[in-house]
Structures are given as C-alpha cells and as structure tokens.
Structure 1
C-alpha cells in the first residue's frame, strides 16, 4: 500500500510545504521510529499485573508491567466493545491549495486514542504531482481519430482515502545511570512518551470492522450470499419472526437476536499476525487499525508535464462515528411512540393468505390460493374476492366478474372461477376481510385477517389481502405463481 503525503506537517509548522514523493508508509508508531504498539516504549499487557510487597526491589521491567496492565485493558475494551471511529472533530476542509484536517479525537482498531491538537495541512498541488507520477496514464494503442493533438490538456480523477493513524515519540530526556563498563552507554534517556496522530492519504482504505454478521443480516444491515451459512441461518430466523403476529413480534425478535448474537460472539476471533502483540487479543492487526476520515476525490488537469488541481471533494460520510452511550439511549427512546401507548389488540385468529400460494390456471380463468385456517362453510361467496385489471395501453380499468368460489373439504384451499380471463394485463386481486361479506374463519369464528405477517385482525373486522400480478395477453402454457 502506498502512502502519499506522509510528509505533510501541522499547519503551524510550515503546513503549506509540498509532500514527499510517494513512498512506503512510515513506521506505524510515528515519524520518529517508535514501535507500532510501543514495543520497548509503550508496554501493553492487559493480563499481567504487578504484585508489589514490602521490601521488594523493583526495576524497570516491573514499572513497565505496572503501566502496561491498565493501558492494555483499556485498549481491549475500546477495540472490542466500542470499535474504531471518530469521537469528535477531525473535519476535512480545503483552503486554497491546502487540504486541512482539523483537530479532534478518534479511537483506532487497536483501541488507542488518536488525538490531533492542531490542524494538519497538506499541499494539494504537491500531492497531485506525486499522485500523477505514481499513476502514469496508460499509453494509447494508436493516435485517436478525432482526439486532441500532442500536448493537449488531459483531465483525470484521483481518488484516495484520508486516514488517521497512531503515532508516538519519546520526549524529555533526563540524566540516567549507566554501566561504566558498557561502551555504548547513554548518560540520559527519554522520560516521556508523547502520543499523537499521523494523517496519511492512501490509495485504498482498510476494510471496515463489521462483527456480528448474523445479527446484521437479521436486522437487514448485511446481505447473505447463497453459500453464507451464518447469513442463511439469520435469514431463516428473520422469516420466522416475520410470520409471528405483530403484537408478539417484539419478543420473538428479541429471542432471535439473542440466539444469533450468542452464535456471533462465539465465532469472533482476533486477527493474528506472526510476531504481532498490539495488544494480545485485539480484533485487528496494525495494518487494519487506521481510522477512515474521508474519501478524497481530486479532479486534475495535466498539460506539458504540469499538474493543476481543479475540483476537490472530501466525503466524510464514509467515516464511522463512535456515539456516546447516552446518545444511543435517547435514540432507542425515539422508537417508543411506535411501540408504547395504546397496546395493539390481540389477533382474533382469523384465517390469512398463505404467502406464495396464489396461482392461476393455464387459461387464467381459475385462481387458486390457500389460507392458514379453515373457512366457515358458506362464508366464501363471490363478493369475498374482487378482481380488476388495468390496460397496459391506456384503456383504463376493467372489473372481471367472479362466477363463484369453491372451498376444499378441509376449508383451507380456495378456487375462484371467473366468467373469462381478466380483460387486461395488470391484474389486481383483493381477498376481502372487510365489508359486509368477507371470508370468515370456522374456528375461531373471525373474519379473514389479511396476508401472513400482517397486523392483527379483531373478531369484528379483519383485513384485506391485495396481490397484483402481470398476465400477458399471449400467455405461454404453464402456471404462473405469485
């Protein structure tokens, strides 16, 4: 991965200077070469604590254990229970030829706080030149027939990602004792570690950390591919929840959520790299720990070896924001008006349309469907099903007459006979659960309640089920099912 503009500086220190040419990324620990997770500088040992007792002689290693334990625990907590993202600030703006990242705070994928105290600036023209050199245009196969001549301006679009990364540097050297026999001895050593943030611009962004795939599929946030076993499990749970009556759906969803969350938590594992200890058990490795701040799109014009910056777009919507717990609580309460107050009535148990059961005969003169509970004998009169059709050529609507309705012996399969096939192509079928003569259930005695998964129906009034299909005028032999 190539880092562009890693030589940018804080605005207060000559931020308008051009960046260095494209190079490999600087060491992840910071510009001064500190280790990525501290190494010898910043200890991280969440599960090793100091046990001090009276009379012990404590040395440097003991103090490293002392400070590495709370640091490691906090990093693990941030990384696993909150995840990477921006806490505040770190806006991206343009001021003339400068691209600026404003002060702010973030948490990276390893749980480290990234603080930026002063605006970080980058010369857009210098970055554009470096990008153009690193991405030369492809050589044409031959001269264009009617294209621009040699030396004509060329317009290109550069896309990159603005990232925040952890950086640390030693500071404040103080006198230190040294072994007189050690020829490499130093008479002072750094007494502080200053933690900060390095801003880089890269051609690709780290993959977002999105754990709990099953839960995300259940709630419609992830898709499940055919070979995705975990995702298919979540889809089945979602289908089961959808079939539960509306007034019982909340506890059913909670039960499904708990089952899938337990499976996701069991399957979670940290990324691993040989020799990586940043910190032990972190969800991602150092290479994937950066925080995305914005997607950068720069329109460039190249002419006779010169590169000119035209339009610049910095899209911050690609970043992840880490919300405070109090804000999350209030956002959850925003759903309360939809579920709190007048409780939804219990479903009276009236029959419902079985999903996917609607089917037409070959000639489109008989319509069949199934219901979830037996219909009461004699309740299925012609007025219980209405069929209309809309012309595709602008002739309007037609009412297609129902000659009669037949119900199977068990009361669960219905056949609707039409005088003739629907007049037009777009056919709208309405199965009545309302009005003076709806379909009615036998046990319990309640009107038709609409499609499966719909709102509850009462003992006095049910719901209609409406299905729209397209029946071509020249229908091929076979059966069309909804």
Structure 2
C-alpha cells in the first residue's frame, strides 16, 4: 500500500465516528495475531481522538504562527525571495487528532507560486480586489519510520522486503489558493460536521415552555438553553460526517492563516513583502479552563 493510500486509510478510519469501538478481550490460551494488536492500539487512539473531536473541537492551543521573511522591503516593485514560515506550536485538527509542530517550517513563496501555474491559482484570485488569497493549514499525518526487514510476500523479489516498525506522529502543512468565505459562517461546534441550525427545530410544547422560561430568567440563560435546543437534533443525519470520500482530507485540515498577495495578474506576480499580508487571527483557537480563569480575575 502506498503512503498516500495509507494516509487516506487513516483519515477514513478517524472520520468514522459512529462505529462502536472494540477492545481486545485477552484470555489465557487465546491465539492473537496482527489484527488483535492493531485493534488494541486503535481502540485507545480513537477513544482519545473522539473525545477531543466532540468535547474540544478543532483549533490552535498555542503557537503555529504564520509569518513571512523578510517582512519589509524598501521597493515594493522588486521581486524578492520571500519565505512563508510556520512556527512551533500545538493544536487539534478537524478530526480530533493532535498536531505538534516541534520546529519551524518554511517554503519559498516564489518557487511555490511558480510550481502551481495560473490555472491552479485561479481559485484564490479576486480580480476585483486585485488580490491572490492563499490558505495555510495543518493536519495530522502518519509518518512511517524505522524500516526493518520482513518476510517476503512474493517470490523472486528484486529487493529485500522491509516495512516500517514504528508510526510516528507527523503533520502535513499545506498552502492552497482559496478565497475567504463570504459572510459570517454559521456556528460549527465540530469541523467535519455542518453548522447548527439558526433556530431550534422540532421542539415539543413542553420543551418550548422550558426554553421560554429560561429566556425570561435572563439573557444568558436563554442563549444557553437556545444553544442546547439547537444541539438536540444536530446529529439527526448521522454521527459520522456526511462527507464524500474525496473531501475527508478537507474536513481534517486546521486553518492557520490567510495570506493576501496584491497582484493584478496571475501571469506575473511580484513577490514582495510590501505586497503581502498575513492574518493569523482568522483561525479557530482552543479555549481552556485556565484561560477562562485568567480572564475572570
């Protein structure tokens, strides 16, 4: 299985949020094989990712700041070598997996733009504003390491067969041309699922009365009860994301920043810090009890 196929298999498994998890029932004298050890690992791993997906959501906890280097230039019309940098940090991606960027990463922006071509960049070009918009995102990705020899599965193989003996936690940083969303998006407590309904649906008379009583008590109590009422039927279409297979990777991506490059044409983009702006605050952030306690002082 290729690395891309293995990556898709991991994403597909992590996006399955409705299948009950199974742990291995160890008994004396029971013969256990490779499937049992994988099930044992998968049970604990997926319990953690599901908890993080449902209870915490996707977002940055700290770091992973996107910047450009250099960040200024004397002549705005000079084509320069500009690098896009992503600093160290920690967060949770769109499927509840931890993402740890343990060291800075960078890419040459001019070389990246040249490698894309005009057709690919068109998805992020706003001709009216004369801007090219890029989205920087991150998600978890398996990283097979420590290859070791294994028994051959086919006869007369030209090379000695090896398989990775460990799967390290890795990250995939991506830059994609994409226009910013128009308007204010609806509230999405879970990134791989659709937004909540704007108003509660399907409430009984008793539930309507409870909601009305909370709204009469105070504005805060009414807003909280309204949110709970909207969450009642949030998963009526299914617990797993209603996403086609080729969009699963999109559900997993965690937005880090949006980059705007001033340009009137995609055929000649002047890469210059004076023409580039980076907005890190469009990303979702994780809010911890410690943060709330600090703000309440």
TM-score, normalised on structure 1?
Answer: 0.45
> Which structure would you say has the larger Rg?
1
Pair 212,201 (structure 1): closer, same or farther in 2 beyond 3 Å: closer
Tell me, yes or no, if structure 1 residue 127 matches structure 2 residue 126: no
- 1:397-431 CA-to-partner distances (Å, cap 9, x unmatched) read xxxxxxxxxxxxxxxxxxxxxxxxxxxxxxxxxxx
Pair 41,317 (structure 1): closer, same or farther in 2 beyond 3 Å: closer
Map of 1:398 onto structure 2: none
Residue 187 of structure 2 aligns to a residue whose secondary structure is coil
Q: How many residues align?
A: 259
Q: Give 5+ residue unaligned stretches, structure 2.
A: 71-81, 123-128, 191-195
Map of 1:198 onto structure 2: 172
Map of 1:308 onto structure 2: 270
Tell me, yes or no, if structure 1 residue 296 matches structure 2 residue 259: yes
Quote the offset at 1:327 in angstroms: 1.9
Quote the offset at 1:319 in angstroms: 0.6
For the 8 Å contact 1:295–1:318, the answer to whether it is kept is yes
In 1, Cα distance between equivalents of 2:141 and 2:200:
40
- 1:158-183 CA-to-partner distances (Å, cap 9, x unmatched) read 1121111222221111232346xx42
In 2, Cα distance between equivalents of 1:203 and 1:236:
48
Choose from 14, 27, 38 the match for 2:10: 38
Map of 1:101 onto structure 2: 86
Pair 263,314 (structure 1): closer, same or farther in 2 beyond 3 Å: closer
Map of 2:24 onto structure 1: 50
CA RMSD of aligned residues (A): 4.2
In 2, Cα distance between equivalents of 1:42 and 1:241:
38
Alignment of 1:427-438 (within 5 A): none
Q: Give 5+ residue unaligned stretches, structure 1.
A: 1-29, 137-154, 214-221, 277-283, 335-482
For the 8 Å contact 2:15–2:248, the answer to whether it is kept is no
In 1, Cα distance between equivalents of 2:13 and 2:57:
24
Choose from 249, 264, 270 the match for 2:218: 249
Map of 1:468 onto structure 2: none
Choose from 318, 322, 341 the match for 2:282: 318
Quote the offset at 1:133 in angstroms: 1.9
Residue 270 of structure 1 aligns to a residue whose secondary structure is coil
Tell me, yes or no, if structure 1 residue 163 matches structure 2 residue 137: yes
Pair 107,256 (structure 1): closer, same or farther in 2 beyond 3 Å: closer
Alignment of 1:57-206 (within 5 A): 57-96=31-70, 97-130=82-115, 133-134=118-119, 135=121, 156-178=130-152, 182-183=154-155, 187-204=161-178
Work out which structure has the larger RCO, using CA pairs closer than 8 Å and 6 or more positions apart in sequence. Answer: 2
Runs of 4+ in 1 over 6 A off after TM superposition: 39-46, 205-209, 231-240
Quote the offset at 1:106 in angstroms: 1.6
Q: Larger % of helix: which?
A: 2
Quote the offset at 1:64 in angstroms: 0.4
In 2, Cα distance between equivalents of 1:266 and 1:67:
32
For the 8 Å contact 2:12–2:248, the answer to whether it is kept is no
Pair 205,194 (structure 1): closer, same or farther in 2 beyond 3 Å: farther
